[in-house]
């Protein structure tokens, strides 16, 4: 019996070692620091050019791409020659002295119109300091605007937001794409890309849109984000299908990664030639407003 006990004890110790040793190495491996060698793409031109139908300054922003994990702002691209043509006239943009990399033209010189095709050209840019200055270009057509009938606010206590609701007729027999922005007393509230909302008309093509929720305004627990007599304006923007696809892809890239340790986002496919990043588009805007009334909108 003693020999049997000794044999069993010896056997148990061997099994215990087999279980403990791999576990030790697994745990130790979890604490090992791994240095990843990440490749970086060559520097490329980044273009942000959105024309609007509003009589305002039209702006084209040029910058250089930076690595994904960089904590530095994108360097501006100065001294470029930026122009937009409608096929008959060529409109030259001027670089801002106060904001390098921003090129503008006043509404006295140029107001884009629906139904017109515009061509953007960018010259005199040696992005890689290699003595090469290719011509970057892109083409877009401004859609026709869709007019909204009215807009209103509805408080959602659970999420502590005011839902922005809109009423309008979606044009039949055509595919339409929309982008929604919100202003408070003419000050844009939705200026970050993640704040912009886009949609197609798959679920309401040709129908009357009866109070659809298209934007949100943070209400907070004290409901003091908006004051009585504030004018809340919704920009109902008609956009091209290509720009809708671009914005949809952008929103997917900036959302939290799932699974948690997914790879870094890839460059978004733009419409600028010669390998530049970014997008050139034209949007037609119709604005509709509501006056904030706390006695009604805080209920």
**Pairing mode of beta strands 45-52, 277-291:** parallel
| Residue ranges of the chain with per-residue pLDDT less than 50 | 1-13, 15-28
pLDDT at 134: 93
| CATH code assigned to 45-141 | 2.60.40
pLDDT at 263: 58
* 189-236 pLDDT, tens digit each: 998 888 999 999 999 999 999 999 999 999 988 888 899 999 999 999
* 62-98 pLDDT, tens digit each: 999 988 777 788 999 999 999 999 999 999 999 999 9
On whether the 148-269+285-297 domain is CATH 2.60.40, my answer is: yes
Query: Whole-structure pTM over 0.75, yes or no?
Result: yes
Radius of gyration, alpha carbons of the chain: 28
pLDDT at 156: 95
Locate CATH 2.60.40 in the chain: 45-141, 148-269+285-297
Q: What are the residues whose beta carbons fall under 8 Å from the beta carbon of 2, sequence distance 6 or more?
A: none
pLDDT at 282: 98
First to last CA, the chain: 83
pLDDT at 265: 61
């Amino acid at each position: 019996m003693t020999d049997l006990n000794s044999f069993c004890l010896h056997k148990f110790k061997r099994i215990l070692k087999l279980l403990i040793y791999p576990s030790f190495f697994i745990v130790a491996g979890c604490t090992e620091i791994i240095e990843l060698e990440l490749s970086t793409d060559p520097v490329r031109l980044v273009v942000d050019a959105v024309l609007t139908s509003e009589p305002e300054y039209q702006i084209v922003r040029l910058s250089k791409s930076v690595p994904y994990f960089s904590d530095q702002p994108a360097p501006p691209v100065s001294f470029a020659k930026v122009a937009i043509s409608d096929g008959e006239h060529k409109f030259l943009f001027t670089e801002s002295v106060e904001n390098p990399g921003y090129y503008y033209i006043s509404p006295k010189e140029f107001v884009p119109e629906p139904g017109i095709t515009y061509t953007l050209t960018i010259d005199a840019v040696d992005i890689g300091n290699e003595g090469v200055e290719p011509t970057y270009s892109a083409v877009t057509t401004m859609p026709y605007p869709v007019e909204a009938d009215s807009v209103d606010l509805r408080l959602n206590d659970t999420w502590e937001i005011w839902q922005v609701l809109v009423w309008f007729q979606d044009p039949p027999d055509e595919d339409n794409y929309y982008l929604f922005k919100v202003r408070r007393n003419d000050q844009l509230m939705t200026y970050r890309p993640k704040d912009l909302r886009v949609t197609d008309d798959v679920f309401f093509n040709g129908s009357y849109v009866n109070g659809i929720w298209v934007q949100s305004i943070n209400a907070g627990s004290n409901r003091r984000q908006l004051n009585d007599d504030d004018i809340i304006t919704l920009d109902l923007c008609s956009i091209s299908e290509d720009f809708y696809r671009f914005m949809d892809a952008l929103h997917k890239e900036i959302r939290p990664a799932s699974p948690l340790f997914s790879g870094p986002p890839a460059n978004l496919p733009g419409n600028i030639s010669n390998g530049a990043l970014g997008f050139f588009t034209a949007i037609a805007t119709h604005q509709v407003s509501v006056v904030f009334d706390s006695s009604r909108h805080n209920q």
